[in-house]
Structure 1
Amino acid sequence: MLKTACTVSLKDYNIYNAELLKYEINDKILINTINQYSYCIAEKDAEFKKALQNSDILLPDGVGIVSAIKFLYNKNIKKIAGADIHHYLLQDLDKKKGKCFYLGSSETTLNKIAERISKEFPNIQVDFFSPPYKTEFSEIENNEMIEKVNAFMPDVLFVGMTAPKQEKWSYKHKNMLDAKIICSIGAVFDFYAGTIIRPNKFWVDLSLEWFIRLLKEPKRMWRRYLYFGPVFIKLILKEKFKN
Structure 2
Amino acid sequence: MSRACTHEILNYQIENSTKKEFFNNLLNVVQSENKKNKWLACINPHSYVVAKNDENFETALKSADWLIPDGIGIILASRLLGAPLPERITGFDVFENVMCDLNGRGGSVFFLGSTAETLEIIKNNIQLDFPSVNLVGLYSPPFKEKFSERDVNQMVDKINNANADVLWVGMSAPKQEKWIYAVSGRINVNFTGAIGAVFDFYAGKVERSSPFFQKIGLEWLPRLVKEPRRLWKRTLISAPLFSWDVLIAVLFSLIQRKR
Q: Into which bin does the TM-score normalised by the smaller protein fall?
A: over 0.9
> 1:223 deviation in Å?
0.5
Residues in 1 aligned to 2:85 and 2:119: alpha-carbon distance in whole angstroms: 36
Residues in 1 aligned to 2:106 and 2:24: alpha-carbon distance in whole angstroms: 21
State the Cα deviation string for residues 121-171 of structure 1 (Å, max 9, x = none): 111111210001111001111111111111101111001111001000001
> 1:74 deviation in Å?
4.9
Cα root mean square deviation, aligned: 1.3
**Greater CA deviation, 101-110 or 230-239?**
230-239
Matched residue SS, 1:241: helix
Change (3 A) 1:76 1:138: closer
> 1:178 deviation in Å?
1.2
Is residue 3–residue 65 contact of structure 2 (8 Å, CA) maintained in 1? no
Matched residue SS, 1:30: strand
Partner of 1:208: 218
Report sequence identity in percent: 38
Residues in 2 aligned to 1:119 and 1:16: alpha-carbon distance in whole angstroms: 32
Partner of 1:17: 16
Is residue 9–residue 78 contact of structure 2 (8 Å, CA) maintained in 1? yes
Is residue 160–residue 185 contact of structure 1 (8 Å, CA) maintained in 2? yes
- The residue correspondences of 1:45-64 to structure 2 (distance < 5 A) are 45-64=54-73
> 1:179 deviation in Å?
1.1
Alignment partner of 1:119 is 2:128: yes
Matched residue SS, 1:199: coil
**Which of 37, 52, 77 matches 1:43?**
52
Residues in 2 aligned to 1:37 and 1:143: alpha-carbon distance in whole angstroms: 30
Matched residue SS, 1:145: helix
**Which of 141, 152, 158 matches 2:151?**
141
Is residue 2–residue 57 contact of structure 1 (8 Å, CA) maintained in 2? no
Is residue 100–residue 124 contact of structure 1 (8 Å, CA) maintained in 2? yes
Scaled by the length of structure 2, the TM-score of the pair is: 0.90
Matched residue SS, 1:167: helix
Ranges in structure 1 where 5+ consecutive residues have no aligned partner: none
Moved over 3 A (4+): none
**Which of 194, 201, 211 matches 2:204?**
194
**Which of 128, 139, 147 matches 1:129?**
139
Change (3 A) 1:160 1:99: same
> 1:225 deviation in Å?
1.4
> 1:3 deviation in Å?
4.0
Residues in 2 aligned to 1:183 and 1:36: alpha-carbon distance in whole angstroms: 19
Partner of 2:229: 219
Is residue 100–residue 154 contact of structure 1 (8 Å, CA) maintained in 2? yes
Matched residue SS, 2:81: helix
- The one-letter amino acid of 1:106's match is T
Ranges in structure 2 where 5+ consecutive residues have no aligned partner: none
Matched residue SS, 2:59: helix
- The one-letter amino acid of 2:23's match is L
State the Cα deviation string for residues 191-242 of structure 1 (Å, max 9, x = none): 0000111112111012110111101110100011111110110111122223
> 1:76 deviation in Å?
4.0
Residues in 2 aligned to 1:13 and 1:229: alpha-carbon distance in whole angstroms: 17
- The residue correspondences of 1:149-188 to structure 2 (distance < 5 A) are 149-188=159-198
